[in-house]
Amino acid sequence: MFYPIMGIDAMYLLIMVAFGIAMWAQANVQNNFERFSRVQSGAQITGLQVARRILDNNGLYDVKIERSGRGTLSDHYDPRTKTVRLSDPIYSGSSIASLAVAAHEVGHAIQHDQGYLMLRFRTALVPVANLGSRMAPIFLIAGFIFSGFESLIGIGIGLFAAAVLFQLVTLPVEFNASTRAKNELVSMGMIMRNEEAGISKVLNAAALTYVASTLIAVLQLFRLIMIFGGRRR
């Protein structure tokens, strides 16, 4: 039970705090990326080379690597086409940040190849989560506006819960990919011992943004459930 603090809904305060954490996390990942983008790796290899070496080391010769051409931090792995897409600074960069991001995306390719359970679960949730994120606001607004149609709020909460579940499942997927990335970089000798801390900072900062956004979503879901329960009583 959340009680008002100085006349302000305590849950609302928690959500605002979570938003503050999310903003800080986003600034933190940007700062760490920019900081370690200026630190060149001792091996002087590019993100493209790192990605290709790790893929080949794991027998993933059929996974393609493409230059996405988009802005920083837009890098991703597409399981539908088995393609690792790297933004320009990562693709051609040889900084600590470039190596960390490239290895992380390849970590997802390895997950896909090995049938990592949480990645399979997340992939199965994609259509449900997309539907939930699009339709939940419509049902929620309609339920709150039109009296006698409170059941629409329940449907909206259910749809929103599906989107929240997707975010929760994303957390272990991202953390696991980062762990794989660092292990590959170290075991293959592509980074020096004094560079491991920088790799960890880049990867951890990125993971924190997922944690913060998930926290916001969970708190919003709890708030909707409490409001809905109050209306029904």
Question: How much is the pTM?
Answer: 0.85
Q: What is the pLDDT of residue 25?
A: 78
Q: What is the pLDDT of residue 9?
A: 66
Q: Is 150 a catalytic residue?
A: no
Integer Cα distance of 95 and 38 in angstroms: 7
Judge whether residue 7 has pLDDT over 80.
no
142 Cβ contact partners less than 8 Å away, ≥ 6 residues apart = 149, 152, 156
Q: What is the pLDDT of residue 26?
A: 80
Which segment of 70-79, 130-139, 159-168 scores lowest on mean pLDDT? Answer: 70-79
Instruction: Report helix angle 47-57 to 96-114, nearest 10.
Output: 30
Looking at 34, 66, 105, 195, which residue is catalytic? 105
**pLDDT tens, residue by residue, 136-154:** 999 988 888 877 677 888 8
- Region of 159 please: left (phi>0), alpha (psi -120 to 50) or beta: alpha
Integer Cα distance of 39 and 196 in angstroms: 12
Judge whether residue 160 has pLDDT over 90.
yes
**pLDDT tens, residue by residue, 69-103:** 766 568 999 999 999 999 999 999 999 999 999 99
| E-assigned strand segments in the chain | 64-67, 76-78, 83-86
Beta carbons within 10 angstroms of residue 180's beta carbon = 22
Q: What is the pLDDT of residue 233?
A: 54
Coil, strand or helix: which one is 85?
strand
Which of 75, 105, 222, 225 is CA-nearest to residue 174? 105
83 Cβ contact partners less than 8 Å away, ≥ 6 residues apart = 63, 64, 65, 66, 77
Q: What is the pLDDT of residue 232?
A: 56
